[in-house]
Structure formats: C-alpha cells, structure tokens
Chain A
C-alpha cells in the first residue's frame, strides 16, 4: 500500500479500500473537503452535548408528536435521548440532520430513522419496512430483525442489523454500508448503484438483480443471482476492509471473511451501452 500521507484524497480513499468503483461518463465521484465544512449549513440542525441526556416516553404520543419532541429536546442541547415505549410506531426519528445519540428501548414500525444525516442510533428491538431510508451519514444499529427494503436508497453511513432482514435490502442504494448479521431475503441489492452490503448469513433469490455498481459480500449460501450480478475475486484489501467494518460494527468479529463471496455488477445490461440517448435514437 502507498504511503497514505503523500497521496491525494481520491487515491487515499481508494488505497484504503473505501472506493473501488471505477466511475465513468457523467457519473462523478465527489469527495468532501473538511476545510470547507464551515461553509455548509443545514436548516433545522442543532449543536448538542452528548453528555446531556434525557428519556422520552412516547407511549401515548403519535409519531409527529414524538418527532417534534425529539426536535425540541435537541434544540435544548440534549445530545443523548432515550426513547421509551416506541411500540412499533411508524416514522419515528425521521429527518434528524445533526449528530445525536438516540436509543430506542423497543421496536419501530415503518420508515424509522428515514432521511437522517448524522445521528448514532441504537434500536433495542426490531424495525419494520424501509428503516433508515435515504440515510446520508451516521450509524444505525438494530439489535433484532428488520423488515423489507432495509436501507433503501441510502447515500452514506453505516446501517447494521444484528438479526435477519426481509426482501430488497439496499434497493437503489447509492453509498454507505449495510451489514446484516443473519440472513437476507430476495432481491437483496436490487438496482444498487454504489456502496456495500455485507451479509454474514444466507441470502435469497435474485441477489443483486440489475445492480449498476457497488459490491455485495455474502458469508452463507446464495439462493440465486439476479440479472447481471456476477462473482468477483475477493482481494486482500477487501478482507482488510471487511474485518475493519465488522469490528467497528461490533458484529461477527470472529467471522472468517476470507471465505466470503464477492458479487459485483457484470455491466452487460442495456444501460451500460455507451451511446447517449440522442445517439441511440439516431442509431435506431
């Protein structure tokens, strides 16, 4: 590996195994420059103190009421919030755009933690469909099982389910990492465009169907491959990255990553035709 102190940002990221995709055409890789961080401002974000902690019982609250109260607590500087009695309610914890330690003592329904950017979340229960949809950054850990469309269209962050997940995990994902400790259902990685999915258990039929890019690592059996999903060589860099990720995720630390299968896009589908639409029209 090259000396990471002497290489540029892009090469550094790729040397560390954080980016292996080779993107061409109009698709561009953009790298965040921390020096410019002060120029960014998100409306509705708060500076919170992680040491300032409180509990919130949402037993008798609707989801909008609970979310408003979380927002209210963040505005008062609370950086660690423990949600009691979520009772499988839908859409809890959505749209949090700043750093926050959020702990749910129970299970969530649909769309939990959707459209978030930054919080560290631990859910001591199960989650329903579309958990953490559109996650931009942060970390969401689910201690039990998850429903279908887990991590749909995430752009970044780490999404970890210690149990098993339903169908279409990581559908349309555009970045970030999804880690599954158990099994995953059908159409995992359907139309994924970037990012990585790690499944330590078995996975169902049509894995990686119509994936554009990104990588899927599977530790168990694969039901079947989807269109254009193909095997790829598991490199030493991949293995290093997997070990690091599993360690940070506190999941499968003893797992033998060297035996995992690596699945990528074969890039033989029609959308990889080099012709632009106008040229295609002319050709027809």
Chain B
C-alpha cells in the first residue's frame, strides 16, 4: 500500500524533521517495513552533504545478507581514499550507524555523474543523497523508529518529503526504501505510491543513456526518469508532465528540489492524495490524518484530479 507525505513552507523555515515524522507516523498503517525522509535543511550552501551507506540494516525483518562490521570499515576507507583522489575534502564526518554515514564535502563540480559513478563503483557502497541542502535518511522500521535512530526531529528547513513503505515488489532493505535520490542531480529526491508496469522497458532505455539503478524497486524509475528529462533540458514541471504518458501504471508521486516541491497523479487517479494549500504552507499526504498531525484545526483540503501536476516554490 505505502504512504507518502510532503510539506513546503514558503518564505520561512520550520522544524520539518519533526513535522514530517508526525505525518509519516500517522500513515504507519500503510506500511512500516521501512521509512524514509528527504529533508531540505537550512545550510550555508557551501559544501555538499553526502549521505551514503556502506552496508544494509540486517535487523529483524530485513531481506539483506548479514555482513561483518569490519567490511563496512573497509568500504569506508576506500570511499575516503576515492574522495581524496578526486580532490574532495571531507569537512565533517558523522557515522550515525555502522552502515550509515554523513559527510560534508568541500568539492567543486557541476556534474555529479562522474563523482557518483566513482564512489558507487566501490562494491556495497550507495549514495543515498547528494546535495547542498538535501539529506535522504531511510532505514527499516516506522517513522518514529527511524527519526529516533538518526535524531531527525530537530532538523530545521523549508521543505521535506517522506515515505512509509509496505514492501511488495522488492526486498525489505534500505536500497529499496524511498525516497530515491534523483541521481546524478544535486538536491533532487522522489517518493512514490503505486505500481509502474513499464519499469523494465524504461529502465533498459535509461541505462543505455548512462543512468544508474541501485535497486529493482519500480519507484526508483521515477527519480531516474525525471532526472534524465532534466538532463535533456526539461524543467522539473515539464519532466513531471511528460511522465504522465511515459510511465505506465498507477501512481502518485512527489519530487523535491532545492527550492521546490511537486506532485503528480496518474491519469486514472488510482492512488490517493489529499492536499492543503495556503499562501505560506502546502501540506499533502496519502490520507488526511497525515495533514492533521501538522494542522489539527479545521482546514479546507481536496483531492487533486487525475493527470494533475503541481509545483510550488519555497
């Protein structure tokens, strides 16, 4: 089933980590195999923030293979070495969990494709997000468990999207969890509720164009599809509108960039979405109870229609 949630504050910052946690926790009945956050925090914008993993969560319910922690250490060493070879300087390093790391990197580049390919050529290493504001945090368990594990409740920023996952077509692991980074674009992330039926056809075309897939989760296709459209010169909104015909199946998805948040709904309107919109705040989720966790008073909400695409700026 899965649940998605997103919000954007326009003209101000807020405690988006805590707000999104409340929204996703309200949707936990839609799936709690894994939960993921894409948070756009207030930063000085100088350094890249790279969230990456060197292994999987192999706790209860995971479909991943158990590995020794020493393997994680070895992979981390190779990442550090590769960064140094590329001239990227690690300004700050946090290792929240043995397999999950956050680096602030001083690195000048406009194209992250080569950078990402080199890092991800290290076996067992996956970049979860790369950007100057975006941080993707995803792990097994419900919203509160992941929030507590990574101390996300104090993160201040302008916007965020998240996903509560019930695993159906791929494994219970971090690599299949949402949000997906819009590789190789800085600060682009995607969450999706639904099923895509032309996944393999599109994947083969996109792989031939040099794009990468880290999982076999159909939702990853949306991130890669939109990223490829943007590489070809389309705006975010144009890429999303194009996806309504390019992607087959049923879907409601959100895309976020450094300064915007968008939603798209398939032409059959088969997946739910409730939306609240005011001049300074947009909040949306699979169910109204998610919105109620941010706005407990009576408000006007609505369901976007079939084939609708909307994009908001901060």
Hey, which bits of chain A sit against chain B, CB under 8 A?
Answer: 87-90, 105-107, 109-110, 125-126, 128-129, 144-148, 163-168, 183, 185-187, 204-205
State which of B267, B268, B301, B306 has its C-beta within 8 Å of the C-beta of A107.
Answer: B301
Interface string of B235-274 (1 = CB under 8 A from A): 0000000000000000000000000000000011110101
Give bound CA distance, A109 to B296, whole Å: 14
Chain B residue with Cβ nearest A87: B292
Residue B85 CB within 8 A of the other chain:
no
In the bound complex, CA of A146 to CA of B272 (Å): 12
How many chain B residues have a CB neighbour from A under 8 Å?
20
19 A-B pairs in the complex with CB atoms less than 8 angstroms apart: A87-B292, A88-B287, A88-B292, A90-B289, A105-B298, A107-B298, A107-B301, A109-B287, A109-B289, A126-B302, A128-B274, A144-B300, A145-B300, A145-B301, A145-B302, A146-B303, A167-B269, A186-B268, A186-B306
Closest to B287 in A: A109
Cα distance A165–B301 when bound, in Å?
A: 11
User: Could you tell me the dominant secondary structure of chain B's interface residues?
Assistant: loop
Nearest B residue to A88, CB-CB = B288
- B306 touches which of A87, A90, A163, A167 (Cβ 8 Å): A167
Binary interface encoding of chain B residues 282-314 relative to chain A, with 1 for a CB under 8 A from any of its CBs, else 0:
000001110110001010111101110000000
Give the complex CA separation of A90 and B289 in angstroms. Answer: 9
Q: Which residues of B contact A106 (CB under 8 A)?
A: 298
| B302 adjacent to A164 (CB under 8 Å) | yes
B269 contact from A125, A144, A186, Cβ within 8 A? A186
Task: Let me know if A205 and B274 touch, CB within 8 A.
Answer: no
* Least CB separation from B297: chain A residue: A106
B223-237 interface with A by 8 A CB criterion? none
Is A126 a contact partner of B268 (Cβ separation < 8 A)? no
Interface residues of B in 62-79 (CB under 8 A from A): none
B: residues with CB less than 8 A from A are 267-270, 272, 274, 287-289, 291-292, 296, 298, 300-303, 305-307
Of A89, A164, A205, most B-chain CB atoms within 10 Å:
A205
Q: Please tell me if the beta carbons of B292 and A148 are within 8 angstroms of each other in the complex.
A: no
Q: Please tell me which one of the listed residues B267, B270, B300 contacts residue A126 in the complex, with CB atoms under 8 A apart.
A: B300
Given contacts A105-B298, A166-B303, A185-B269, 19 further A-B contacts (CB under 8 A): A87-B296, A88-B287, A88-B291, A88-B292, A89-B289, A107-B301, A109-B289, A144-B301, A145-B300, A145-B302, A147-B272, A148-B269, A167-B270, A167-B306, A185-B306, A186-B306, A186-B307, A187-B269, A204-B269
Q: What is the CB-to-nearest-CB distance from A145 to chain B, in angstroms, rounded to a whole number?
A: 4
- Taking the closest CB of chain A, its distance from the CB of B191, in whole angstroms, is 20
Q: Assess the A107–B302 pair: CB atoms within 8 A.
A: no
Contact B292 A147 (CB under 8 A): no
- Expressed in whole angstroms, the minimum distance between the Cβ of B272 and any Cβ of chain A is 6
Closest CB in chain B relative to A128 CB, distance in Å: 6
Q: Which residues of A contact B287 (CB under 8 A)?
A: 88, 90, 109-110, 128
A145 CB contacts on chain B under 8 angstroms: 300-303
Determine how close the nearest CB of chain A comes to the CB of B65; give it in whole angstroms: 38
Do the beta carbons of A186 and B302 come within 8 Å of each other? no
Contact pick for A186, options B267, B272, B289, B301, CB 8 Å: B267
Report yes or no: A126 in contact with B306, Cβ–Cβ below 8 A. no
Give the residue of A128, A163, A204 whose beta carbon is less than 8 angstroms from that of B305.
A204
- In the complex, what residues of B have CB within 8 A of residue A129's CB? 272
| Residues of B close to A110: CB separation below 8 A | 287
Q: How many angstroms from the CA of A146 to the CA of B300 in the assembled complex?
A: 11
The complex places the Cα of A216 from the Cα of B305 at a distance, in Å, of 19
Q: Are A148 and B298 in contact (CB under 8 A)?
A: no
Asked if residues B300 and A167 are in contact (CB atoms below 8 Å), the reply is: no
Q: Give Cα A134 to B266, complex, Å.
A: 27
| One of A126, A148, A164, A187 near B288 (C-beta < 8 A) | A126
**In the complex, chain B residues whose CB is within 8 Å of the CB of A165:** 303
B residues in contact with A205, CB < 8 Å = 267, 306
The answer for the CA separation of A145 and B267 in the assembled complex, in Å, is 20
Could you say which residues of chain A place their CB within 8 Å of the CB of B270? 167
Give the distance to chain B from A245, nearest Cβ to Cβ, in Å.
24
